[in-house]
Amino acid sequence: MSPSATAAALDWSANTKKLNAALAKVPGSFSVAVLDKKTGQKYAYRGTVSFDTASIVKAQILACMLLHDQAAGHAPTSGEMALAKPMIRLSDNNAASSLFQHVGGRSAVTACNRKLGLTHTAVNSRWGLTKTTANDQIRLLSEFVDTAGPLNAASRKTIYTLMSTVSEAQDWGVPSVATSGETATVKNGWDTRSADGGLWAINTIGRVTDDDVNVSIAVLSHDNQSMSSGVTLVQKVAKLTRQTLGY
């Protein structure tokens, strides 16, 4: 290992301790994972704790649709893309339900998860209640850009194109940490259920890139009093990772 690489590893190690301490003071029920693809450094805080996906699972459904088409030997059809675009850009639930069933439902998405290396994601037939971890979501984001992974170049480009063009109203979460000149991709999730006492699950996954930055971020949370307070929480957590880890 070169001296500069050794110094970077030491800095990351020291900064993770600082970040652990900072996050421990943040009120709320959340987890976060970060992967710096340039250095290979990873960070996770409660990264193995399970949370409901809410709509972040739509990124997973998109990947499964693309793998389904790859296996069939053709590009996504116009009908599939007519569903995929609003599913990701507008978080359209009806489109997600249609594509979820189109690729084979719970059993097929579970099999797709194995191809993507998601070992701690349990698919629910009610897709928004799928359980996942921040670590698994970082693995999913990694597969979206892995040239040696199961998704081919065209599929990876489709994912990037859709996740980098979400509607302005849903351009929160991971994009909040991007600085001028950087590109952010994102899929957010939010849900409230009477079974949870009306509390909110708020999640954000995505990537921040430019010539010097190549980072994947996943923040999952639940038991938020409102959607706005949950958005504030996940953005605060995401920003703390950048401020402390120094990526």
Q: Using one digit for the tens of pLDDT, what is the confidence trace for 232-243?
A: 999 999 999 999
pLDDT of 227 above 80: yes
Average pLDDT over residues 98-106: 98
Number of domains making up the chain = 1
pLDDT of residue 6: 52
Got the DSSP string for 129-173? Answer: G-EE-HHHHHHHHHHTT-TTSSS-HHHHHHHHHHHTS--GGG--S
**Tens digit of each residue's pLDDT (9 = 90 or more) over 150-168:** 999 999 999 999 999 999 9
122 CB-near residues (< 8 Å, 6+ apart): 50, 130, 131, 132
Q: Give residue 11's pLDDT band: very low, low, confident or very high (50, 70, 90).
A: confident
Q: What is the domain-level CATH number for residue 154?
A: 3.40.710.10
pLDDT of 1 above 50: no
pLDDT of residue 79: 98
The number of CA neighbours under 13 Å toward the Cβ of 58 is: 30
Q: Assign residue 105 a region (left: φ > 0; alpha: ψ between -120 and 50; beta: otherwise).
A: left
Q: Give residue 107's pLDDT band: very low, low, confident or very high (50, 70, 90).
A: very high
**Tens digit of each residue's pLDDT (9 = 90 or more) over 122-149:** 999 999 999 999 999 999 999 999 999 9
What ranges in the chain are assigned the alpha helix state H? Answer: 3-24, 57-72, 78-89, 93-102, 105-116, 134-143, 153-163, 227-245
Q: Give residue 2's pLDDT band: very low, low, confident or very high (50, 70, 90).
A: very low
Q: How far, in Å, CA of 25 to CA of 28, rounded? A: 9
End-to-end CA gap in the chain: 20
More confident residue, 91 or 3: 91
Tokens of 111: 């099999």
pLDDT of residue 195: 78
pLDDT of residue 163: 98
pLDDT of residue 193: 83
Q: How far, in Å, CA of 140 to CA of 114, rounded? A: 11
pLDDT of 19 above 90: yes
Percent of the chain surpassing pLDDT 90 = 92
Query: What domain range includes position 85?
Result: 3-245
pLDDT of residue 13: 85
pLDDT of residue 10: 64
Q: Give residue 196's pLDDT band: very low, low, confident or very high (50, 70, 90).
A: confident
**Identity of the amino acid at 227:** M
Average pLDDT, the chain: 95
- The alpha carbons of the chain give a radius of gyration, in whole angstroms, of 17
